[in-house]
Amino acid sequence: MATSHWLAVFTPATWSLFVAMEEPQLGFGELSGKKLKSVRIGDLFIAYVSSVKKITGIYRVIGEPNRNGVRIWKSANFPFCLPVAHVCQFELDKAPLFLDLADTQSWFRRLPNKKYWSFVFRNPPRALKDHDGAAIINSILDKASIAQIV
């Protein structure tokens, strides 16, 4: 089965808490349950931090989504959790801006008004088309000097 690519969205505060986790989990709200049924072990999540508009890492799904209701971050309860392992991670101040990678995205090139580009990052998890996800991942790997994802 092919690897699917997804977006996970953080605030700077939730990003800081996420990178400090010993066993990282992505957290999703109540309305995400249906989308998470499509996520498979081995899929890749691309981390995006909203207010700074940066791509901060790539994470591989290592377990099934679960509904444990754990308050994994102080700011909110995310009833759906997804165990992940980091493939590539940037410090927030060194992470690439999404707009530096935007031209690799078919949906971005088709936008009639580029000022609305950030709407695609709403309501995570957001599935990406294979070629769009691969383009971001390849750009990130180049910036991180990593040859490929194992």
Specify the higher pLDDT residue, 119 or 78. Answer: 78
Mean of per-residue pLDDT scores for the chain: 81
Give the predicted TM-score (pTM) of the model.
Answer: 0.84
Angstrom distances, CA of residue 100 to CA of 16, 29, 38, 58, 105: 23, 29, 29, 17, 11
74: pLDDT strictly greater than 70 = no
Residue 132's pLDDT band, with cuts at 50, 70 and 90, is confident
12: pLDDT strictly greater than 70 = yes
Where are the domains positioned within the chain? 5-143
Contacts of 108 (CB under 8 A, 6+ apart): 102, 114, 117
Map residue 8 onto helix, strand or coil: strand
Q: Report the pLDDT averaged over residues 101-127.
A: 72
Q: Report the pLDDT averaged over residues 91-111.
A: 78
CATH superfamily entry for domain 5-143: ph1033 like domains (3.10.590.10)
